[in-house]
Amino acid sequence: MMNQDTPTPSTPSRTRRIYSTQFKSELVASCQLPGASVSAIAAAHGMNANVLRRWLQKHRQHGSHVPHFPSTPPASAQTSSAGFIALDLSA
């Protein structure tokens, strides 16, 4: 049984890196060059290749890199006021 006064080893916390739009665009452009290796480019910049592959996928879908949190929600998420009918309650 573990004594309550014994400190538990702490695990290092993971930090989420934030990359600028310009940096993302430059790496996506580098990956689109003939003979480019996504894994090699990611490794050269100290990042996971899956992150770079996700940026490439977004670039193919949208024509440019789209941030994770767009300033306006997609059209499917926007609510419509078509169902609202104003009633005159003064009578």
- Would you kindly state where each structural domain of the chain is located, as residue ranges? 21-67
d(CA 68, CA 50): 15
Q: What sign has the CA pseudo-torsion 41, 44, 48, 52? A: negative
Say which residue the tokens 């004594």 belong to. Answer: 3
25 closest CA partner among 61, 57, 55: 55
Percent of the chain with pLDDT over 70: 65
Taking a C-beta distance cutoff of 8 angstroms, is the pair 51, 16 a contact? no
The predicted model scores a pTM of 0.56
How many beta carbons lie within 10 A of that of residue 1, not counting itself? Answer: 3
More confident position, 91 or 52: 52
Instruction: Place 8 in a pLDDT band, splitting at 50, 70 and 90.
Output: low
Cβ atoms 56, 38 nearer than 8 A: yes
- Give the model's pLDDT for residue 14: 76
